[in-house]
Structure 1
Amino acid sequence: MRLTALLLLIGLSASAADPEFPVSAIPAALLKNADVVQRLEEVTIKMNSLRDVRMTQRIVLTILNEKGDQYSGFSSWYDKERTITGFHGALYDASGKQIRKLKQSEVRDASGVSDNNLYDDSRIKSHDFYYKVYPYTIEYEVEFRDRNSAIFSPWVPQGTDNYAVEQSRLSVTVPADYELRFKQFNYNGQPVQVPGKNDKTFVWEVKEIPAKRKESLASPWRTRSVMVYLAPSDFAYGSYTGKMKSWEDFGKFIGVLNAGRDVLPANIKTKVHELTDNVQDPREKIRVLYEYMQQNTRYISVQLGVGGWQTFDAAYVASNRYGDCKALSNYMYSLLKEAGIRSHWALVKAGEGETDFMEDFAVNQFNHMILCVPMQKDTVWLECTSQIKPAGYLGDFTDNRPVLLVTEDGGKLVRTPAYSLDQNLRSGIVKASIDAEGNLSGISSTRFTGPQQDWYHSLINSVSPEKQLQILKEKLNLSSYDIRKFNYTPHPDAKPVPEITEELEITVSSYANVSGKRLFITPNVLNRATIKLSQDGERKSDIWFPIDTRELDTVEITIPDGYTPENIVKPVAIETRFGKYSANVKVEGKKILYIRSCELRAGQYPAKDYPVLEEFLNSIYKTDRNRVILVKKEA
């Protein structure tokens, strides 16, 4: 008996020491195009009650190369409502042999306050083995307890490009009478449902998902890989409870959460009436109060307790002269209310080009708040965190996307304005001359409207003229040149969208190539396309253009005496479903006249059309660099 027991013990010890995650066990198909292979992911969520949600996340990743190092660590936030109850980790070599375990003393615990946050009670626990012998494998297991049940992170087995998945599993357990809401993308079938005595469990699982190659102009990730969004029906948030079965429900909750926070101090009420009582036009009242708010407040993020969704009240903003997006929007709401103008808070998923949104699934997809002021014939939108935007203009941070209005009757989805081709315009005129050595000198005047002017507007309001010049030189990307003068003139009151005019005086040494008696001149001086597509293999992702764009260019170049055209490229005109482009060059006497037009049309296009897009954009890239050949006449 003793011998048998001893042999059994030896066998168990040997088995325990067997490598668990050898790289050699990864299927060959998962190594193709991959920087990292997710060997195993297990996410387990259990809702004991609305104020007691437990989650465990275990993840095992094999890092194949230096590019995969970005996935080599683990971090997670916590605060008073969400606690981290366990944090474990291990490092394995290529054979799957464990090199070492994470020590609790190695876990960093830092403030989660970002540079633009004044207050934030969140913290971050993180760890990284900083191992560089490829390939290697890391394992982390982290346990959480959350006293809120309003937000469930989506299950995203394959997080990004060049990321393969061997196995991933999500298990969600809720009380038997609770309605767990979910929406699936690219998942075959329905989750396995396992009934329990007093609860029920939903299980999703995927295996062997090959890595996706990075593709230019790709459609949103949920259209390309497996994702499952989870949402509560009933939930707790701080000391509040609410429902999220519909947008109406969610809007009602936000309204309750922020009720009674619109009371202004007496001196601010007086100021509102001083500014608006003698103004008859409601739009003018909005503009006056918006500019007053801009001049007397500034944006600072404040995230405390239920601060993620609940605003500081109007009196707080009036006293302290700062606030986050919710506080400033609520303050503007309160100013308008005092002036007799009705408005609504509007929750939005903000970000340049972030127009993808699930309208048919009520779940918090928002990260920002703006203000909506409905008028008799149209609507005025206000970005209350900006001290420089004109009233009624949003820009590409929040344009053309659904937003949730918080109304007296609950939430209602509407869309912010989409900027048309004429409202997102770059229109430039260049007048230049080239001498016999090929040196160019000239001036340009360019008008930028709507979203096209946003970058320049930010530039002139955020950095010094010296820094502006440095950034401008990098952006122009012309070799051996000098910007002798530059100036930006904003036109915030231009209609229907604000504009900025750029004036430049430049010189470019050896702009034209000189070869014997010939000059080679590229007439497109300042606005050459930068996108050149090249893709091997079949396109997988749909094509995504988030916004309509138009560019118009006119260039007039005076050439040196004695030169005549030897070769002039023929006019180019291309029209596809993605947009249209034209370029035309003429030489008349001593002048080269170049006219260019380019339009790109917003939309999501099928992957099968990628060859057409590739040909279209590459033709633009090539044509923008076409040269006129001039030859000097014999004396």
Structure 2
Amino acid sequence: MRYRIALLLFFIVHIHFSQDFNYSVHTLPKELVNGANAVVRLDMYKVSIHAFDHMEVQSKRVVTVLNKEGEQFIHAYAAYDKESKITALKATVYDANGFELEKFKQKDFIDQSATGGGTLYSDSRVKYLGFTPVSYPYTVVFERSYETSDTAFIPGWYFLDGYEVSMQKSKYSLDVLCDVPIRVKESNLQAFGVTSSNNAKQFRYTAENIPAIKKEPFSPSFAQFAPNIKFALEKFKLKGVVGSAKSWKEFGLWIYNDLLAGQSELDESMKIKVRKLVWGSQSTEEKVKRIYQYLQDNTRYISVQLGIGGWQPISALNVHRVKYGDCKGLTNYTMAMLRAVGITSYYTVLYAGSDKRNIDPDFPALAGNHAFLNVPLNNGRELWLECTSQEVPANFLGTFSDDRHVLKVTPSGGEIVTTKKYSPEESLQLTNAIINFGEQGSINAKVTIKSKGIQYNNKYRLPLNKENEIEEHYKDYWDYVNNVKVQSANFTNDKENIELSEVVEVSTENYISNAGDQWLFAPNMFNRNLFVPKRSRTRKNEVVIKRGFVDEDFFTINLPENVKPEQLLPKIELNTDFGEYSLEMTQAQENQILYKRRLKIIAGTFPKERYKEFREFRKKIARNDNSKIVLIKTQP
């Protein structure tokens, strides 16, 4: 009875709103239009949990799209599969003056696989609105209802969708109409004026008139400061399989026993093959690397969204047979091969991506978007294996998976661990260059670059490029050098030490400015850092430097016999909380100059009030990197 009353009230509000709402963009408050690509005028969401295996969701969303960039905030789609049924789906589009342009019933929505063209198999589908605007602005009213037996994902809520979108009114309600315990976590609500009225079984949230947030350089990820709520049932169902998430330990047990069990078996012939692979290995680490190399040489990545909602890996036998798999299948296959030679490894779930998103240690729930493998070694060390890549070295974590909380799945349960954080010194780029002047100011140079750590991450695929792509890479990298010509480029990818070496021979005819008997010459030819963040007088967010690094540069500059520097650059040393910078020029011989530079950027989070200080540091780096000296032609 209580549920029927709540549902009736929801639709009374819904009908009243529909009758009174003016869809003209001219009624929008100016403060919501300023800096926005779209305005979410109404976002109503109601979740009703009838049992641990039965959930209903109703929603209405009204979005005014101000320009093309705002189209990403329409969100007019509905996913479905065997466990989830769409019960209502419609949309109406209005022009700038609030007049109706087009109506869409459920049959008018485009129906396709939910995982796109890069997926070989999938049992999930999505219906989405296919509307092409002829002008902006316009407004989309989208309504959707569905019911599902999948309760592993309880829809949470972000009261603001992202940067450069504003929100006029947002209402979220959740009713637990059964005895299953539910957990909730609220983040950043007070700062955005979100109000709530909750008890153990009912949750109500409302927010109004949140202006668009401008995306600022070096900001935290949006999810870190945006107002949001998330929910999780302690007992849930996923594609017919009952699960539990009272703790990460218990949740990990569910993954181990219900998702992974039985999927890691290999036939005897494959076990024999794997054992032959590691014959003669001198250590566990060598065995792991041989098996990992076999994986890279004999399989490829392709998305497979089958098996308990896309969360269960396909079997190791199937991966071995077809020679492909997704992150789950390839990770499980590698784990099976290691087990065949007596090596323990752990299937690990994470949020992959450069934003360093964590699995929340305090909120056990179905989470993550990727899987990879953890291999503990006897000496206390551990190896990480990215099983979807055919190029990444064993135990290399780049920006895809570094420095974040992940869920390691063991026979005794789940465990939250942290992946490696690279220090600035570990992310070293060392550049040596021999620069030779020719007649009339032409220059030929041999440049050797060695990259490690996160800087290796930026370079390791370079040797795989075509010749013209390599030339374009260096022209872009040294875009401040006019008419640079790449004579040759050779690479050594040392996967054992995780280091990429580049040896590049280049020439240019017009690098030096000629003024009579004087040449204007910028000594830093091959590693200028000229980026300066935009000025901001009203900084809103903290300053976040996600990753640090070190650049060390040594240039030997050989001048013609009749040329000498009028004056060398002064010695520079900068030391700040954001990093360090040093520059020194010396005259080694009469016609030879040495240029030495070091830049260190330190990862960290700093108060917004220090943005100006950080920007000033970057300005000084750019100014010094761009410094020039005068070369004087003398009489022979």
Does the TM-score normalized on the shorter chain lie above 0.5?
Answer: yes
Q: Deviations over 1:138-197 (max 9, x none)?
A: 2111222222111134311211211111111111111242322221121127731268xx
Equivalent residue for 1:475, pick from 474, 477, 497: 477
Q: Deviations over 1:515-552 (max 9, x none)?
A: 23221111111211142112332211112222221111
Q: Deviations over 1:335-367 (max 9, x none)?
A: 222212222111111123424443222233311
Equivalent residue for 1:399, pick from 393, 397, 402: 402
Equivalent residue for 2:197, pick from 192, 199, 209: 192
Task: Show the counterpart of 1:428.
Answer: 431
Task: Show the counterpart of 2:62.
Answer: 60
**Which SS does the other structure have where 1:271 is aligned?**
helix
Q: Deviations over 1:281-331 (max 9, x none)?
A: 222222222222332322222111415211112221222222221122212
Once the two structures are aligned, what percentage of the paired residues are identical? 30
Q: CA deviation at 1:277?
A: 5.5
**Which SS does the other structure have where 1:130 is aligned?**
coil
Q: CA deviation at 1:202?
A: 0.7
Task: Show the counterpart of 2:495.
Answer: 492
Task: Show the counterpart of 1:4.
Answer: none
Q: Deviations over 1:548-601 (max 9, x none)?
A: 211111112223343333344322211111111112233452223211111111
5+ residue gaps in structure 2? 1-16
- CA distance, structure 1, for counterparts of residue 135 and residue 119 of structure 2: 38
Task: Show the counterpart of 1:358.
Answer: 360
5+ residue gaps in structure 1? 1-14
Task: Show the counterpart of 1:206.
Answer: 207
Task: Show the counterpart of 2:598.
Answer: 597
Q: Deviations over 1:406-438 (max 9, x none)?
A: 112110111122222232111001111234533
- CA distance, structure 1, for counterparts of residue 293 and residue 482 of structure 2: 43
- CA distance, structure 2, for counterparts of residue 465 and residue 127 of structure 1: 43
- CA distance, structure 2, for counterparts of residue 204 and residue 627 of structure 1: 60
Answer whether contact 1:355 1:546 (CA < 8 A) is retained: no
Q: CA deviation at 1:395?
A: 2.6
Equivalent residue for 1:44, pick from 32, 43, 46: 46
Counterparts in 2 of 1:103 and 1:150: CA distance versus 1, 3 Å: closer
1:405-484 paired onto structure 2 within 5 Å: 405-435=408-438, 437-461=440-464, 463-477=465-479, 478-484=481-487
Counterpart residue identity of residue 404, structure 1: L
- CA distance, structure 2, for counterparts of residue 567 and residue 443 of structure 1: 25
- CA distance, structure 2, for counterparts of residue 304 and residue 146 of structure 1: 18
- CA distance, structure 2, for counterparts of residue 392 and residue 57 of structure 1: 45
Counterpart residue identity of residue 606, structure 1: P
Task: Show the counterpart of 1:146.
Answer: 148
Corresponding residue pairs, total? 613
Answer whether contact 1:355 1:400 (CA < 8 A) is retained: no
Answer whether contact 2:239 2:309 (CA < 8 A) is retained: no
Task: Say which is worse superposed, 39-48 or 222-231, in terms of deviation.
Answer: 222-231
- CA distance, structure 2, for counterparts of residue 87 and residue 561 of structure 1: 80
Counterparts in 2 of 1:355 and 1:592: CA distance versus 1, 3 Å: farther
1:47-126 paired onto structure 2 within 5 Å: 47-72=49-74, 74-104=76-106, 106-126=108-128
- CA distance, structure 2, for counterparts of residue 517 and residue 465 of structure 1: 39
Quote the RMSD (CA, aligned, Å): 2.3
Counterpart residue identity of residue 285, structure 1: K
Counterpart residue identity of residue 186, structure 2: Q
Counterparts in 2 of 1:80 and 1:458: CA distance versus 1, 3 Å: farther
Q: CA deviation at 1:509?
A: 2.4
**Which SS does the other structure have where 1:437 is aligned?**
helix
**Which SS does the other structure have where 1:433 is aligned?**
strand
Equivalent residue for 1:155, pick from 154, 157, 163: 157
Counterpart residue identity of residue 192, structure 1: S
- CA distance, structure 2, for counterparts of residue 234 and residue 415 of structure 1: 27
- CA distance, structure 1, for counterparts of residue 86 and residue 308 of structure 2: 19
- CA distance, structure 2, for counterparts of residue 207 and residue 508 of structure 1: 59
Answer whether contact 2:360 2:405 (CA < 8 A) is retained: no
Answer whether contact 1:19 1:96 (CA < 8 A) is retained: no
Q: CA deviation at 1:105?
A: 5.1
Counterparts in 2 of 1:355 and 1:68: CA distance versus 1, 3 Å: closer
Task: Show the counterpart of 2:624.
Answer: 623
**Which SS does the other structure have where 2:331 is aligned?**
helix
- CA distance, structure 1, for counterparts of residue 531 and residue 79 of structure 2: 38
- CA distance, structure 2, for counterparts of residue 279 and residue 631 of structure 1: 62
